[in-house]
Amino acid sequence: MNRQPLISVIIPTYNRLDVLAELIESLWRQTYRHLQIIVVNDNGEPVDELKELYPELDLTMVDMESNLKHVHARNRGLELVRGDYIMLCDDDDLLLPSHVERMLREIEDSDLVYSVQFSVAWDWDFYLRAAEQFRVKRVPAASALYAFADSGNNMSGNLEDMRPYLDKLSAKHGLGELPTKNFFLLLEEPEVKARRAETELLWNGEPVVSRRAKQAGGVSREA
């Protein structure tokens, strides 16, 4: 590459300022610096303070007039993209410092690269539609981190809430009847165990502490 491509990062968020601050901190720590960061606030609490805390970042804040959920929020972010490539993040993701640099290197022979597990129905819908038309590659390195818990506000923690989305996914892609199982349960399936792929573990266990947390004199969650 003769020049540094601009990477546009789209982040929908809704009332999770603390974890969003940690994601912004992890983007600030990236070894690849040519980033356009678009935060789409889906009619939640104000997030503008992060722009003041990270003045060195190309950080754009967009406020939705009503809560339309993450798909509409991402589409709003797409309208502002200036980059050569697009990276989609959830507001509770954490990226290790080499993540963007690694993914940019890997995408040279692909159209879409990913390094995380798809744990919810809309992630799989996106993947299946993309794989039909584009060159998709899994990068075998755990450079993006996310939390799993038996309790919490993640959709996969409640199997009853998952069912309607899973039914829609099955009908849309002709997948037949699928069992209602989250990431933890699927890991124990013999078919899944047989298809496990090697992944390079990169995280050293150090937590990501945002400037917002430091300013408040507190600590952030461990990645």
145 pLDDT band (50/70/90 cuts)? low
pLDDT of residue 196: 62
Q: What is the pTM of this model?
A: 0.71
Task: Examine the pLDDT at 215 and tell me if it is beyond 50.
Answer: yes
pLDDT score of 121 more than 50? no
Domains delineated in the chain: 7-155+199-213 (3.90.550.10)
> Using 50, 70 and 90 to split pLDDT, how confident is the model at 137?
confident
Instruction: Report the 3 state secondary structure along the chain.
Output: CCCCCCEEEEEEECCCHHHHHHHHHHHHCCCCCCEEEEEEECCCCCCCHHHHHCCCCCEEEEECCCCCHHHHHHHHHHCCCCCCEEEECCCCCEECCCHHHHHHHHHHHCCEEECCCCCCHHHHHHHHHHHHHCCEEECCEECEECCCCCCCCCHHHCHHHHHHHHHHHHHHHCCCCCCCCCHHHHCCCHHHHHCCCCCEECCCCCCCCCHHHHHHCCCCCCC
Give me the pLDDT at residue 126, please.
Answer: 61
